[in-house]
Amino acid sequence: MRVAMIGSGYVGLVSGACFADFGHHVVCIDVDQAKIDNLKAGIMPIYEPGLDELVATNVEAGRLRFTTDIADGMADAEAVFIAVGTPSRRGDGHADLSYVHAAARDIARQIRRFTVVVNKSTVPVGTGDVVEQIIRETAPDADFAVASNPEFLREGAAIGDFKRPDRIVIGVEDPRARAVLEELYRPLFLNEAPILVTGRRTSELIKYAANAFLAVKITFINEIADLCEKTGANVQQVARGIGLDKRIGPKFLNAGPGYGGSCFPKDTLALIRIAEEHETRLRIVEATVEANDRRKLAMGDKVIAACGGSVAGRTIAILGLTFKPETDDMRDAPSIDIINVLQAAGARIVAHDPEGENQARAILKDVEYRPDAYAAVEGADAAVIVTEWDEFRALDLARLKSLLAAPVIVDLRNIYRRDEMERHGFAYTAVGR
């Protein structure tokens, strides 16, 4: 099949490359000329393991190309995906749909045959109706159908998630759209990937509900971790004890500094606003957002407490800046709030992240970046593990202690054992243990 992907960011680029790898012919379209030029040169706009190789393979095979010209990109397309950003709107937390609406108008002007227009961006309930209205108003004679096909890609594991999905959700009101999308995803039927066909509005809500539920689960175990610290319990064992219950499951029960990234923060806020617009309340989600915001700030206070109650004039080494490993994404990363708290308390910050330094420089001020973990901790009064990159999981503890000015470790990801750290002479602080 021939596919056009409007937007060549995280979702559009990964989805487009994977569709091409299935054998479809894909054109990724973006208004950013520099991004398209870089993609043509094999330079990825994001860090995602395996993406550069996947793109290169399919470009070489002639199944994937890039352009800023929507007329060229849509010339033979049977399906056109909208995969543009929907950031939180400043001031009210609503999803900003301006890019989606602009894409709908651009698509409408290029429709020459029956075309399925697919919302892959995360959008509020009813956005498919609005997109359909925009296209009809812009091109009254166009033959098209609008569908919803939300993405469920984890940063750092996106290619595997696309090719081996837990489920494929398709929201349609037109049987022709269903047929096109089922044909597009037919290669995944061989792996017996579950496909759920729903109405368009149901599909749109599934995405928000899924992310909100996972955010609730993360926040729940983080608050249980606080209780564990007060009672002398071990949150890792609590998590395992409840995760063995098949009704609960073990995933997203790792206590830490709070959630961040491109999805959970903006999607929970947007879902709250959607509920308010429909005169209902999602009190659990509201409490989750509030608790997560507090938690990230509290992790800064936790570091200060581990340093004896003051970090004024002290150097704190931050190991890991991105919101999770295997990505360069700094959006709403816990490290931002933690560093802000520490700097406000008078600390000097040095940091190392394997992939996030360039993104971090645009967000964080007065941070000194070091090339590796050992360089970061040299002369520091404490080291704080914020992101659980693999290279931080097996540090040479003797070397680490010899480089630190004071043997203080704050492990916000619980990747080390207390007995091991104390045997090496560290004052060790973990989460919920």
Distance (Å, whole) CA 126 – CA 204:
8
Active site residue 263: yes
Catalytic choice (18, 228, 263, 307): 263
The gap from C-alpha 138 to its chain's centroid, in whole angstroms, comes to 33
Q: Could you count the other beta carbons within 10 Å of the beta carbon of residue 374? A: 16
DSSP calls for 160-178: HHHHS-S-EEEE-SSHHHH
Element (H, E) at 319: strand 315-319
Return d(Cα 12, Cα 85) in angstroms, integer. 10
Q: Tell me the C-alpha distance between 298 and 255, whole Å.
A: 14
b/e sequence 82-116, b meaning 16+ C-beta within 10 Å: bbbbbebbeeebbbbbebbbebbebbbebbeeebb
Contact criterion met (CB below 8 Å) for 375 and 315: no
**Can you read off the two tokens belonging to residue 96?**
């900003």
Of 349, 314, 315, the residue nearest 335 (C-alpha): 349
**DSSP assignment of 178-238, as one string?**
HHHHHHHTHHHHTTT--EEEE-HHHHHHHHHHHHHHHHHHHHHHHHHHHHHHHHT--HHHH
Angle between helices 51-60 and 10-21 (to 10 degrees): 50
Using CA atoms, how far apart are residues 110 and 243, in angstroms rounded to an integer? 50
Sign of the four-CA dihedral 56, 60, 64, 66: positive
User: Rounded to whole angstroms, how far apart are CA atoms 409 and 384?
Assistant: 6
DSSP-assigned letters across all residues of 66-111: EES-HHHHTTT-SEEEE----PBPTTT--B--HHHHHHHHHHHTT-
Q: Kindly list the catalytic residues.
A: 263
